[in-house]
Amino acid sequence: MSVIYILIAISLVLAGVFLVSFFQAVKHGQFDDDHTPGIRVLFEDEVIKTTNNQK
Amino acid sequence: MNTMPETPEITLEQANKLSCYHCGDVCNKGTTLVYQNKPFCCEGCKTVFDLLDQNGMCTYYDFENNPGITIKTRDFKHRFDYLDNPDVIEKLIDFSDGKICKISFYIPAIHCTSCIWLLENLHKLEPGVVSSEVNFLKKTASFTYDLSLISLKKLVELISSVGYEPEITLDQTSDKKIHSDRSFIYKIGVAGFCFGNIMLFSFPEYFHLDDVIDPGFRPFFGYLNLILALPVLLYSGSGYFISAYTGLKQRIVNIDVPLSLGIAVMFIRSSYEIISGTGAGFMDALAGLVFFLLIGKWFQNRSYKALSFERDYKSYFPLSVTRIENNKEVSCTIDSLKEGDIILVRNNELIPADAILLDGHAYIDYSFVTGESQLVFKKSGDKLFAGGKQTGGIIRLQLLKTVSQSYLTSLWNHEVFQKKTSLHLSSRTNKVSKYFTLIVLIIALSAAGYWMWVDSSKALNAFTAVLIITCPCALALTVPFTFGNSLRIMGRNHLYLKNADIIEEMAKIDVIVFDKTGTITHPESGKVVYEGDALSNKELKIIKTAVQSSTHPLSKSIEKFLNVEAIYPHPEVIEHPGKGLECMGVKIGSYVFTTGQIQQEDVDFTASDVHVSVNGLYKGRFRIQNVYREGLKELVGRLKQRYQIHILSGDNDGERKNLEQLFGTDTPLRFRQTPEMKLQYIQQLQQKGYHVMMLGDGLNDAGALKQSNVGFAVTGKNGTFFPACDGMLRSDSLIKLDALMQQAVKSMDTVKYSFIISLTYNVIGLSFAVRSALEPVIAAILMPISSVSVIAFTVLLTSWFARKLKL
């Protein structure tokens, strides 16, 4: 059971990595706007439209 | 290939009833045109459509119907000249390396998906724009552009020309706001991380596994919890300690005092238990508590993002002003203005600082400052105050003070714009927390005292247990979540409140006062029709000049209707109150005023007539329709069940019969009310002990709105913000007024119920604590449960009420 010490240490380190990446994401402004990216996803990539194209 | 049937050609006549393809406004006679078989209400809309069409950007119209924005003035010739000034540029841009520049703007016109699409695809219109990004909730857009291809001024002209004119003001410091938001998110992240891990490591303790596993693990987990709890205590929870300390320094016991006390006691007792090996401590409850509290605060802050009522005077002033230096007109920033500077102020521009009028015709509109919209005529040598708006030609002023020293700033900070607030819930929460702390201490001491007597080993245990478990977190969480959710619901229904305390005020209202023009009348009204002999262009111009200097609602309707320019410099206009206006031989007003004879015809009750005579010869009349909003009668019926209704109108009493029909003959109607009279009327009602709500269109009612307990400005699509109002109600949401008021009342009920629930939890918790039987697992269960259930209860209940009210 003493392997638990190692396991917990590893899990803490892993969780810490996620925490740090969370901080990085915040620092890069990912959470500054949580509404607009959702709308942006729905924009389609533009297909070059000629005047003959009908929707 | 073309499977769609040919759409029939639209004629101009047909187009006149349709909505503009671009902006959705109804096409009016005179400016409608048809282009590519689509109706447009004006040249401006058609131009934008054309621009998009030629660049293959008609996807703009695919996301929403009529997403465009009508542009009021298309003349940008000198509007943005000040953006060529390098000082101004430096102030505004976020970043520049000489070639690439980055700048962000607040663009109030952003309102839908199409707006986002267009602004983010701006690079297709203009290759100088490298990229752009919109933040929808904040209504900001940031642009990265290539300096060698486009200048800042051209960029602003471009986005203005498609309808998205940015609001460029003095107060452009947005940096600190972002950093404080971010540090908040960090705190939540840390608290959440530690909370989760501490709970995980507390499992052996919960399940009493120390008999099963190696007892050596207990201290291991204990110390882990201790270490994990440190960042929660010192970083995430620091805000509460600081707030409690500052409050206590000023001898105020706010809600953060018992909170901090609880957190501190939890930490101290837990550390003691862990280090001495006598127990497992309450670190999990501690971390959980801080985590939930922070979430509560975050939720509350979220509601306010899009609406910043937190603007001080600076955000109303323009960024730059034309100054005369060495006989040349130079654009300069507003804070570089000094005493003695000579500046030019044009039509519709704001006077930036107290000054003396040198020359020009000054008709100043001080409604912004005082609520008085009566134009004040000033002559050379008179003193003009900051905040006034010039309506007329160009005037030259010499500054007496700098911008910040001026009367306006002191006025703004004066109680004139600060409402006297009765005890609000947030301060009521503080009052409750004072008693709360006291009672908790008393209970704790009595419990300790009891155990000292019976079994002294349990005394300290009981004392600290009481302090830990009696969590005022329900108090601290109830208000932000209840009001936060209600604010969100109201915002969804287009009622935007200044802050959460307004909800409490709304629940206390017993009298509602309506302004007539623009509030209960449809915005389409003020529809003007001219009957009579044709008027020459010159005559129309004279009429326009005359009505422009009058603030009477009928004048404003005619002013909007006439599509000509007024005459500058303003010739003399004489206003005869109650009769009409006279200017350069043209008389407009009542029949008796314009012709000298009493009218013979029946007076038409649905229209207000403004007659015109030129040099004594009767020409015709403007007929102005009063169209009342749909659903008004039913709304009034519903409102009357709970509230007293009053109507104040600046108009004459031609509408009396109509109003009596809609509102009933028992509703007090007052006509010919000046802004002052409206204010006094509200004051009188308040003196009788009523809580008054006022609904107005903001312009003529600023004083009354200020005076009332709750003042809502009823606005059109793009609301203009008035500092005097407590909230903005979009005009098409007016019929929901009764439901919105009920929502406020129900929110207060929710708060009451929630307090009761929290009290129940505390009693349950106390029953364990005073018996000195509080185990960590109990605290760990009880506290998160009470927090979560309070959150869930308040949010669900307010949403349920909203659903019942059909909001």
pLDDT digits (tens, 9 = 90+) for B48-57: 888 888 888 8
Contact B2 A54 (CB under 8 A): yes
Q: What is the pLDDT at residue A17?
A: 96
> Cβ separation of A19 and B134 shorter than 8 Å?
no
Q: Is B212 on the interface with A (CB under 8 A)?
A: no
Measure Cα distances from B426 to B491, B501, B502, B747 in Å: 21, 7, 11, 14
Percent of chain B with pLDDT over 70: 81
Cβ within 8 Å, pair A39-B136: yes
Q: Does the CB of B137 have a partner CB in chain A at under 8 Å? A: yes
Please answer yes or no on whether A54 and B189 come within 8 Å at the CB atom.
Answer: no
CB-CB neighbors (< 8 A) of A8 in chain B: 201, 224
Per-residue confidence band for A53, with pLDDT thresholds at 50, 70 and 90: very low
pLDDT tens profile B431-454? 777 788 888 888 888 888 888 888
Q: Which of B30-39, B209-218, B484-493, B521-530 has the lowest mean pLDDT?
A: B521-530
Asked if B189 and A23 come within 8 Å (Cβ–Cβ), the reply is yes
Cβ within 8 Å of residue B733, ≥6 positions away: B493, B494, B495, B740
In a mutagenesis test of the A interface, which of B135, B180, B232 is the best target, namely the one with the most A β-carbons within 10 Å?
B135
Chain B environment of A53 (Cβ under 8 Å): none
Confidence check: pLDDT of B124 > 70: yes
Residues of chain A with Cβ-Cβ distance to B214 below 8 Å are: 1-2
> Are residues A54 and B1, on separate chains, in Cβ contact within 8 Å?
yes
d(CA B148, CA B146): 5
| Range name among B88-92, B581-585, B736-740, B791-795 with the lowest pLDDT average | B88-92
Rounded mean pLDDT, B507-524: 79
pLDDT at res. B608:
67
Report pLDDT for B40: 83
Q: Shortest CA distance to B80 belongs to which of B349, B350, B320?
A: B320
> What pTM was computed for the model?
0.68
Cα distances (Å, whole numbers) of residue B407 to B171, B338, B371, B400, B725: 19, 15, 15, 11, 21
Is the Cβ pair B214, A1 closer than 8 Å? yes
Q: Name the B residues in 370-389 with CB < 8 Å from any A CB.
A: none
Any idea which residue has 């008021």 for tokens? Answer: B741
Residue range B298-336, pLDDT digits in tens: 876 765 554 444 444 445 555 667 888 887 777 777 767
Residue B696: is its pLDDT beyond 60?
Answer: yes
What is the predicted pLDDT for the residue at B144?
92
Distance from CA of A23 to the nearest CA of B (A): 7
CA distance B195 to chain A (A): 12
How deeply is B340 buried, as exposed, middle or buried, from its count of CB atoms within 10 A (0-12, 13-18, 19+)?
A: exposed
Tokens matching residue B334: 């507003």
Does residue A14 have a pLDDT over 90? yes
What b/e sequence results for B357-389 when a residue is b if at least 16 CB atoms lie within 10 Å of its CB, and e otherwise? beebbbbbbbbbbbbbbbbeebeeeeebbbbbb
User: Is A28 an interface residue toward B (CB < 8 Å)?
Assistant: no
| A45 contact B CB<8A | no
Mean pLDDT rounded to a whole number for chain B: 79
- Is A26 part of the contact surface with chain B (CB cutoff 8 Å)? yes
CB atoms within 10 A of CB B145: 27
State yes or no: pLDDT of B409 exceeds 70. Answer: no
Q: Which pLDDT score is estimated for B746?
A: 93
Nearest to A26 among B117, B185, B214 (CB): B185
Q: Which residues of B touch A36 (CB under 8 A)?
A: 116, 133-137
Q: Where does the pLDDT of residue B767 fall: very low under 50, low under 70, confident under 90, or very high at 90 and above?
A: confident
Q: Do the chains contact at A40 and B116, CB–CB below 8 Å?
A: yes
- Ranges of H-type helices in B688-725: 702-707
Q: Are B734 and B714 in contact (CB under 8 A)?
A: yes
Q: Do A19 and B193 touch (CB under 8 A)?
A: yes
